[in-house]
Amino acid sequence: MAKIKVLIIDDSALIRALLTEIINQTNDLEVIGTARDPLIAREKIRALNPDVITLDIEMPRMDGIEFLEKLMRLHPLPVLMISTHTEQGSAATLRALELGAVDFIAKPKVDIQNKLETYANLITEKIRTAALANVRPLHGASLKKPTIKPQNLIQLNALTLKSSAKKINLETLIVIGASTGGTEAIKEVLIDMPADSPPILVVQHMPEGFTKSYAARLNSLCNIAVYEAMHGEPLRAGHAYLAPGGYHLSVIAAGKQFICQISQDDLVNHHRPSVDVLFNSVAKLTKCNVIGVLLTGMGKDGAVGLKKLHDLGAKTYAQDEASCVVFGMPKEAIACGAIDEVLPIDEIAGSILMHLGKYLA
């Protein structure tokens, strides 16, 4: 079986050497070249035809973001960003994901020898996932705050004007899980939700240091308020709560309210946050209408929890294969009978709103 060919683009000779050593120790991956800047990388891409690129953000002559945008317009390839944990680095990473990068990983530190095995396993798994990704050419995307689409205005009016709207907002929860490719997929769903939608809880597999910037980015684009969930926080209509990186998010009932719970309990399905932790907690709630959504991502996290919700009467959705970056998590949920509807990402929000309209009849 042919090895996955990797091109490393980074201005640090030390990082290039470390990544080369990590990747070449595997049986299925191979570094076919390195480049210290995007201009050199451009020629090596043409000559070597890599399967996956690892790309640094801060480099001389042309930064990684500018290079990525040109690459995804002219010669789209699976790209794994090598990012820093700084605020500036996390913002640039989110921009890279918007432009079509498959995933990202924090830049290794020079003193990671005691954690090298863990880092090596993480980066090689991300490269394998990137090699399977459904990469699309970049056609340009508007980053302006959107207006609600006409079909959603109908639902917004119904949710606002009907006397039963309060019941919808207080007794209905929408829960969403995603992994690889999920940052853009989640945005696609949340951007269409009206300002008085039921509380939404979101788990996106992300490390610490990046979810705060991601939530702020979503908040600037959406009609609902989006931010990191806080422990003990009551859920409110018109708000979306994002699991903080490195923490599980769950929900409990406290009287007539639903409350966020944040924890650093053990990894579940190799993840923290885990989609199954959220879905399983919601399955324990009574007198709650639930809408469960599983979006693009590698692995099976969320499938078991969504099946539990489905069997309890929840309305459940999966993103379809054609619009997924990686069709792993939705595929697992479909296979175990957890899904009512499989839809393209741009149709999920509208279907959720139509489903909510049933409660308003």
Helix (H) or strand (E) holding 318: strand 315-319
| Residue pair 344/322 in contact by the 8 Å Cβ criterion | yes
- Determine the 3-state secondary structure of 47 from DSSP: helix
Cβ-in-10-Å burial (0-12, 13-18, 19+) of 296 comes to buried
Instruction: Kindly state the tokens that stand for 106.
Output: 């924090």
What pLDDT is attached to residue 111? 59
What pLDDT is attached to residue 179? 97
Per-residue pLDDT of the chain in tens (361 residues, 90 and over written 9): 799 999 999 999 999 999 999 999 999 999 999 999 999 999 999 999 999 999 999 888 899 999 999 999 999 999 999 887 666 678 899 999 999 999 999 887 655 566 788 889 999 999 999 999 999 998 754 344 344 444 444 444 444 434 344 445 557 999 999 999 999 999 999 999 999 899 999 999 998 889 999 999 999 999 999 999 999 999 999 999 999 999 999 999 988 889 999 999 999 999 999 999 999 999 999 778 999 999 999 999 999 999 999 999 999 999 999 999 999 999 999 999 999 999 999 999 999 999 998 655 4
* Measured torsion, CA atoms of residues 304, 309, 314, 316, in degrees rounded to the nearest 10: -10
What pLDDT is attached to residue 159? 46
Catalytic positions are 179, 205, 301
Listing DSSP states for 75-135 in one string gives: S---EEEEE-SSHHHHHHHHHHHHHT--EEEEPPPTT-GGGHHHHHHHHHHHHHHHHT---
Residues 6+ apart with CB under 8 A from 339: 294, 306, 310, 316, 317, 318, 330, 333
Cα–Cα dist 349/28, whole Å:
39
What pLDDT is attached to residue 209? 83
Residues 124-138: tens digit of each pLDDT? 999 999 999 999 998
Cα–Cα dist 144/141, whole Å:
9
| Residue pair 192/347 in contact by the 8 Å Cβ criterion | no
Which is nearest to 350 in space by CA: 116, 201, 153, 71? 153
Cα 327 to Cα 171, 297, 322: the distances in Å are 31, 6, 8
